[in-house]
Amino acid sequence: MNSKLNELTRMRKKSHMKFKEYNSKVYEKFIELEEAAYSEGVLTRQTKLLIGIGISVVKNCEACMQWHIEEAARYGVTPQEIMDAIGIGIKMGGGPAVVSSRFAIEVMEEVFKNWTPKLE
């Protein structure tokens, strides 16, 4: 799994540089949109990242799931909160979202390697 995550990160960074190299105005505006969307507002950055996780599960975007989960962890979101966001994605996306959520769980477990879930 780690090699897949590394490859997704490598591709994302490479593409980012290519868009910048080719002076893509659309991409530039997308980055501005992303910065605005995840800035602190009425909702915290953490909450917005959790929303992004749920949407990523519904859309089955592996690179999106990875980025949102890694960013969420970087901003102090817990695995339990991520699991709740994945759960909302499953609720909204049904069976196909259950399938894509498997990737999200693998990413979460990679990001939180030393975390042990609480069994209730």
Amino acid, res. 53? I
Using alpha carbons, select from 4, 6, 101, 99 the residue that is nearest to residue 55.
101
Q: Model confidence at 9, in pLDDT bands (50, 70, 90)? A: very high
Q: Which domains does the chain have, with CATH numbers?
A: 2-111 (1.20.1290.10)
Q: Give me the pLDDT at residue 120, please.
A: 59
Asked if the model's pLDDT at residue 2 lies above 80, the reply is yes
Q: Model confidence at 115, in pLDDT bands (50, 70, 90)? A: confident
Q: pLDDT tens for residues 16-74?
A: 999 999 999 999 999 999 999 999 999 999 999 999 999 999 999 999 999 999 999 99
Asked if the model's pLDDT at residue 1 lies above 90, the reply is no
**Average of per-residue pLDDT across 94-109:** 94
First-to-last alpha carbon distance for the chain, in angstroms, is 28
Q: Give me the pLDDT at residue 114, please.
A: 77
DSSP assignment string, the chain: -HHHHHHHHHHHHHHHHHHHHTT-HHHHHHHHHHHHHTSSSSS-HHHHHHHHHHHHHHHT-HHHHHHHHHHHHHTT--HHHHHHHHHHHHHHHHHHHHHHHHHHHHHHHHHTTT--PPP-
